[in-house]
Amino acid sequence: MRRSAAPLLLLLLTATLLALPQILPRFHTYVAAIVLLTALLATSLNLAIGYTGLYQFGHAVFYGVGAYGTALMLTRSGMPAPIAFLVGPLAAAALSLVMGVICIRLSKLYFGMLQISLGSLVWAVVYRWYSFTGGDDGIHGIPIPDAIASPKGSYYYTLIVTALCVFAMYRIVRSPFGKAIQGIRDNPVRAAAIGVDVKLHQLASLVIAGFFGGVAGSLFVVVENSVFPDMMFWTFSLEVLIMCLLGGMYTFFGPFVGASVIVLLRVFASIHTRYWSLILGTILTLVIIFLPDGVLGMFVRRPRPKESTGA
């Protein structure tokens, strides 16, 4: 049933997303764009954590580097904007490669701890280097090309880029590479014993995740016209991680759902109460107890074995 409903659902979703800025007021269009790019960020993190099984605890760093890379190129270099939008994500991918080479020697939690440490180092540099990154003030009033500078323009730009990136990642998790990293997630020892070079695949997955995280960062520049060091602080990394857990990290679109819930909650619940994180905490607790595989994980049905097995 789900299979036949999927194209219709996708069509409906596309139509809604395309129509949103025409219906919604300016502020809500802005929120929708933030939802989209955060969903892209969460989906990219899930490539590392849900699909490769790596404890990627510092993912916001790649988001931040993607954003700062783009922002610095736009404000300080005379380069055309498209190059700036590419340099940010590439810088994030490069950083991901370097950090990956260092962290990949460790496994599980130790990988995550080292990644947080190295990420904090990057954050500290950005936070302190006033002459280059603007320090804790960040960079504001970043010049955006006219075509995508308006709220509607930036929304559509975000929508198109997010859709393309999510589609690319969807293809990746269904490719032989995607199967191999899922095998590594499930059982690295078994994967190596069938000839898969575990570390090389993990590294490739990290670089891809870092790149798409960087793309999300470059979208943030377009939507927000500014960057600040908090976006790469480790607490935000954890928030993105929570999005994956909430939505379901063993499903492709789970992080998308998780990101939407958390961003909307933050925006709309915080209007009414300063304690919006209390609401989030309650929801998360309930999800973990009742839906351990996340909101979307609940809908996944796995075929069960037949009664008898013929030899």
Partner 1 sequence: MLRVESVVKSFGGFKAVDGANLHVNAGEIVAVIGPNGAGKTTLFHLLTGHLSPDSGRILFKGKEIGGLSPHVVCRRGITRSFQVANIFPRLSVFENVQIAVLSRERKTFRIFSPAKGMAEEEVHRILRSVGLFDQRDVGSDLLSHGDKKVLEIAVALSGNPELLILDEPTAGMAPEETERCIRLIRKLSGESGLTILFCEHDISLVFEIANRIMVMVRGATVAQGSGEEVRRNSEVRSAYLGESGEC
Residues engaged in binding partner 1 (CB under 8 A): 168, 171-172, 174-180, 182-183, 185-187, 189-198, 201, 204, 208, 250, 302-306, 309-311
Q: In terms of CB distance, is 23 or 193 closer to partner 1?
A: 193
* Minimum CB–partner distance for residue 170 and partner 1 (Å): 10
Q: In terms of CB distance, is 181 or 221 closer to partner 1?
A: 181
Longest Cα–Cα distance of the chain, Å, equals 72
Burial class (CB in 10 A: 0-12, 13-18, 19+), 141: exposed
* Minimum CB–partner distance for residue 79 and partner 1 (Å): 28
Q: In terms of CB distance, is 145 or 297 closer to partner 1?
A: 297
- Cβ(40)–Cβ(219) below 8 Å: yes
* Minimum CB–partner distance for residue 250 and partner 1 (Å): 7
* Minimum CB–partner distance for residue 301 and partner 1 (Å): 10
Q: In terms of CB distance, is 137 or 186 closer to partner 1?
A: 186
Q: In terms of CB distance, is 72 or 184 closer to partner 1?
A: 184
